[in-house]
Structure 1
Amino acid sequence: MLKATIKEVAAEAEVSTATVSRVLNNSLKVSEEARRRVNAAIAKLNYEPSAIARSLKQDRTFMIGVIVPDITNPYFMEISKGIEDTVGQSGFQLMFCSSDENTDKESRLLQLLNEKRVDAVVVATAGGNGSKIAGMSRSGLPVVLIDRTLENVDGLSELDLIAEDNAAGAYMLAKRLLEDGHTAIGVVNGPSWVSTGRERYEGVLRALNEFGIEQPPLVYNGDFTVEGGVRAVRRFWQSNRKPTAIVSLNNRMTFGVLLELIRKGQHIPTDVAIASFGEVEAGQLLKNPKLYYIDQQPYDMGKRTGELLLSRMDKQNQNADPHLEIFSHQIKCIP
């Protein structure tokens, strides 16, 4: 069955197409009688306004592109939910994309969003696409970096950024383990080419230096996945000096760490203490775990990102100074 057109609605209501348009746009320049007839015709014909036509007329698609490394990661899901809850109130929808920590795939996704004429882009970047992202921003497209910074290229200093204080959070985790008397610490880090991986590792090293630990820690650079945490524990247990504590710098990897330690019959924290960048809900299933974690605020970060996007899409605020917002942390413990 063919969809009704605005001309058919106008004919049914015995008004002009301009009058139908005014009713659809809630204009006050329509008599109550004409408004009644138009609404009755819309209901009778089951008319639905064309989103494409609206976007062409308003020069907007009402779509915002969101690129994250892994759309199944609860952390990025919460960020996305915060964005969606905020911009949705203004009629915008999100187009989600997952880069899988792949620079080339992220580049293709950026191109796709550009071709789809999205009204703004949010990127938690896998790295390596700084020039392309900066170019999109220079063309007038609002771009907000979330969670991660980019390599130093011209134009990136002009981008908005909402992120966490990664170095400080990792420092607090490592310091707590050191205060508990641990000196043999294993570090499960993310990719070194990603800003979060670099910054969090720097925080761990600062804590070790402050406590006079000269021997380099055992380090496994994972990929922010559960499997990465599993592989890290296997690598550590092949070492001549097994760690008495592990600081895992991503909650997905922490889950993998816990899985593999339990498989090996290790008890937490009596055999191995754990400190995680981000809460791992499965930790609550352990008996007396005393599992330290950084309390992240992804939903609040998403809300602030959504508010910033709405501001940037307002032409009056497009040329405002770049916005930098860094979320601080608290360290907590399960139970």
Structure 2
Amino acid sequence: MPAIKRIEKVTDVRKKTTIKDIAKAADVSATAVSMAMNNKPGVSQKTRRKIQKIAEKLQYSPNFIARSLISNRSYTIGFILNSITDPFFPELAKGIEEYANKQGYNLLLCNTKRDLQTEKKSIDMLRSKGVDGIILATVLKDDPNIVPLIEDEFPFVLINRHSMNPDLKNKTSYVVLDNFRGGYMGMEHLYRLGHDRIAVITGNVNTSTAILRTEGSIKALSDYGAKMDRELIVEGRFQRQIAYEAAIKLIAMEAPPTAYFAQDDYMAIGIREALFEKGLRIPEDVALMGFDDTEIASFAGIDLTTISQNKYEMGAMGAKILIEKIEKNSTGVVSQLILESGLIIRKSCGYALQGAYSR
């Protein structure tokens, strides 16, 4: 009978590093370690760096379960967006996540696919998971899904868009762009380049972004004594394919537009495809302009003139306001920030060919 070989498994059980261990090594109090590790005020930058370096050396891993039980928080926030495939949203999400992480919070993402019912399900799911607050970039002009959040005094912040219902708007915190000014600047730029037939491809007409950008464009023409041809205002819903289809129809008009102002860069790419498909040159035959200044706008060969907005800053500011609401238990405090927009002139509008405005 063959001998049976005994195999013994030896497990290296090491004591888990605690805050007290770090405090002892750093010669500070446990309270100072807690403040340093959670990015709280009360310790100097020199001491904070020292504590963090020791924590890393001792391979300290926070006990998130204990932390949550003590504070009655999950240290997680949710971010609801339309689609992560839209080039506008990744940088927005990056700003939120990086700020949140610095404050000791994690981030959960939800895509609504531009559907109001999916937005509601996302809000309900995040709340059921115990998130401490929610950032929404998806609200419509009179969005019913934020009403329960207001009534329950649940921490939330709107970014990119805001409610246009006065009763709701005055009760919500938001960080948005000066969309009226952005729409005004874009239209003014194209008009001064000599264009009279300027198509505006709008976003979702039930959103504050599309409404205010359109109003700004109409006001710009009015200020120059011109009138907007309503046939040239077409909804693109912030979607590349729909913008492409809208451009195909506009190109077929008896008097087609000589310039296109898309209310986001994603739609501008769809319009660009339609123009090239019909043999039109940009900017020699037709001027093209976008909105948002996403990364793709600066690619060589695209060189899209656009309206800029600091998406990273918008996300970070939204996270800052939300976390302050959570930690100060101040859901009743309303913060409303409007960020400046800017004109980014590249090759697609024809300004480089003309060298100056014609009017």
The alignment's TM-score, normalised by the length of structure 2, stands at: 0.76
> Over residues 284-327 of structure 1, what are the superposed CA-to-partner deviations in whole Å (9 max), with x where a residue is unaligned?
4338x6x421111101111211221222122264443x111111
The residue aligned with 2:344 is 332
**TM-aligned CA distance change 1:124 to 1:257, over 3 Å:** same
User: Which consecutive residues of structure 1, in runs of 5 or more, have no partner in the other structure?
Assistant: 1-8, 14-18, 31-45
**TM-aligned CA distance change 1:146 to 1:139, over 3 Å:** same
- Give me the whole-angstrom Cα distance separating, in 2, the residues matched to 1:189 and 1:128: 15
- Give me the whole-angstrom Cα distance separating, in 2, the residues matched to 1:119 and 1:137: 14
> Over residues 172-222 of structure 1, what are the superposed CA-to-partner deviations in whole Å (9 max), with x where a residue is unaligned?
111111111110111111111111111111111112222333351412201
Pairing 1:130-145 to 2, within 5 Å after superposition:
130-145=143-158
8 Å CA contact 1:63–1:94 kept in 2: the answer is yes
- Give me the whole-angstrom Cα distance separating, in 1, the residues matched to 2:67 and 2:96: 23
How far off its partner does 1:258 sit?
Answer: 1.2
> Over residues 112-135 of structure 1, what are the superposed CA-to-partner deviations in whole Å (9 max), with x where a residue is unaligned?
111111111100124277443232
> Over residues 28-80 of structure 1, what are the superposed CA-to-partner deviations in whole Å (9 max), with x where a residue is unaligned?
479xxxxxxxxxxxxxxx99776445323321111101001122222221111
- Give me the whole-angstrom Cα distance separating, in 2, the residues matched to 1:107 and 1:316: 24
The alignment's TM-score, normalised by the length of structure 1, stands at: 0.81
- Give me the whole-angstrom Cα distance separating, in 1, the residues matched to 2:97 and 2:154: 19
Is the aligned partner of 1:309 residue 2:318?
no
- Give me the whole-angstrom Cα distance separating, in 1, the residues matched to 2:61 and 2:228: 68
The residue aligned with 2:55 is none
The residue aligned with 1:263 is 277
- Give me the whole-angstrom Cα distance separating, in 2, the residues matched to 1:270 and 1:117: 55
Match 1:285 to one of 300, 308, 333: 300
Which stretch of the first structure deviates more once superposed, 149-158 or 227-236? 149-158
What SS does the aligned partner of 1:334 have? coil
The residue aligned with 1:108 is 121
**TM-aligned CA distance change 1:332 to 1:191, over 3 Å:** same
- Give me the whole-angstrom Cα distance separating, in 2, the residues matched to 1:84 and 1:98: 16
Is the aligned partner of 1:245 residue 2:245?
no
User: Which consecutive residues of structure 2, in runs of 5 or more, have no partner in the other structure?
Assistant: 1-12, 32-58, 348-359
Identity value in percent? 28
The residue aligned with 1:186 is 199
Q: Let me know the Cα RMSD of the aligned residues.
A: 2.8
**TM-aligned CA distance change 1:199 to 1:25, over 3 Å:** farther
The residue aligned with 1:4 is none
8 Å CA contact 2:142–2:165 kept in 1: the answer is no
- Give me the whole-angstrom Cα distance separating, in 1, the residues matched to 2:201 and 2:130: 39
What SS does the aligned partner of 2:260 have? strand
What SS does the aligned partner of 2:130 have? coil
How far off its partner does 1:138 sit?
Answer: 3.6
How far off its partner does 1:26 sit?
Answer: 6.2
> Over residues 240-267 of structure 1, what are the superposed CA-to-partner deviations in whole Å (9 max), with x where a residue is unaligned?
2111011111111011111221222211
8 Å CA contact 1:101–1:126 kept in 2: the answer is no
What SS does the aligned partner of 2:200 have? strand
What SS does the aligned partner of 1:57 have? helix
The residue aligned with 2:354 is none
> Over residues 119-174 of structure 1, what are the superposed CA-to-partner deviations in whole Å (9 max), with x where a residue is unaligned?
11100124277443232234232110101012416454121110001111011111
Pairing 1:165-204 to 2, within 5 Å after superposition:
165-204=178-217
The residue aligned with 2:352 is none
8 Å CA contact 1:120–1:313 kept in 2: the answer is yes
Pairing 1:50-89 to 2, within 5 Å after superposition:
51-89=64-102
8 Å CA contact 2:297–2:306 kept in 1: the answer is no
- Give me the whole-angstrom Cα distance separating, in 2, the residues matched to 1:146 and 1:138: 20
- Give me the whole-angstrom Cα distance separating, in 1, the residues matched to 2:126 and 2:241: 30
